[in-house]
Structures are given as structure tokens and as C-alpha cells.
Amino acid sequence: MTTSSKFIVTLEVAYQHVIKVGVVAANELAALQLAESAFGSGSLWTGDCALQLLHDDFHEEGERVDLSVSHLGNGAFPPPDATVHELELHSRARRLLSFCRMVSDAAPSLTEQIVDLDRLFEVKLSARSIQQLRELLPHLAEVEPAL
């Protein structure tokens, strides 16, 4: 019988990061400088600049995938880095948005002065939906200080 070992497999795919920004400037050079400055400072993604983010996407360059393997033996895997945390956060945010839309669709008209919560929650929330919401709450609380 063979014993299992731990490995980290790295898959590298070449991408091109394409960003398009709307800039109001006196000329092309000034527009380039404003865009480069906002990109360098990161303000393109925070909404703290006068430039308008028009496109931000990654495009694969070809179909080649480079693979490499690192043997860890019985050592511990390293903790997930910030990129994984961000992916998980986006996934949880999408689930919360879906839940909010479900509640919003079932809600009475916003022109009513008083909302009858019993009627509002006549929405058939499954135990699974409620459990998913409860699972999201700690992660939302984790993000809340940054808001």
C-alpha cells in the first residue's frame, strides 16, 4: 500500500490584462499621464478619481498551460492567499445578492407606509436558504469594517 503525499500543482496560463479608461484631458499626453497615474495608485478601482473605468478584463493568450509540481511530503499546505479570499468574497456576495433579490421580489410595494413583516416573509424560505444566509453573515461582518 502506498502512502499519500501532499503536492502543490501550479498551472500558469498567459493572460493579457486589458483596461480601458475614459479620460477628459487637454491632449493625448495628458490623458496618458492621468490614466497611468490612476493605474499606478490603484484609484481606478476605488472610484477615487475622475476617470471612468470602461473595461477591465483578462484575456488568455493562446491555449498553452505550463504545469509544475512542488512536493511537500507531509508538510502543511500554505494558507490561501488574498486572491483566494477575494474569490470567496465575490462568491458569497453573489449568493447574498441572490437572496436579497428573492426577498425584494417578494416584498410589497415600497409606496406602502407600513410593511407587514409577516406578509413579507411569507416567501417560502427553505431551511437551506436560511442556512446559507447564516453562513454568509460572519464573512459579511468580516468585510464590514472596510466599508
One domain for residues 85 and 144? yes
One domain for residues 70 and 87? no
Cell of 29: 499626453
pLDDT of 124 reads 58
Q: Which segments in the chain show pLDDT lower than 50?
A: 147
pLDDT of 32 reads 94
One domain for residues 69 and 105? no
Rounded Cα gap, residues 138 and 136, in angstroms? 6
- Structurally, how many domains does the chain consist of? 2
116 residue type, one letter: D
One domain for residues 22 and 43? yes
pLDDT of 9 reads 92
Q: What is the pLDDT of residues 7-30, one digit of tens each?
A: 899 999 999 989 999 999 999 999
One domain for residues 25 and 63? yes
Residue at a domain's end among 42, 74, 106: 74
What is the domain extent for residue 56?
Answer: 1-74
One domain for residues 134 and 90? yes
One domain for residues 46 and 91? no
pLDDT of 30 reads 93
CA neighbor of 90 nearest in space, from 26, 21, 33, 143: 143
Residue at a domain's end among 74, 90, 115: 74
pLDDT of 126 reads 63
One domain for residues 42 and 83? no
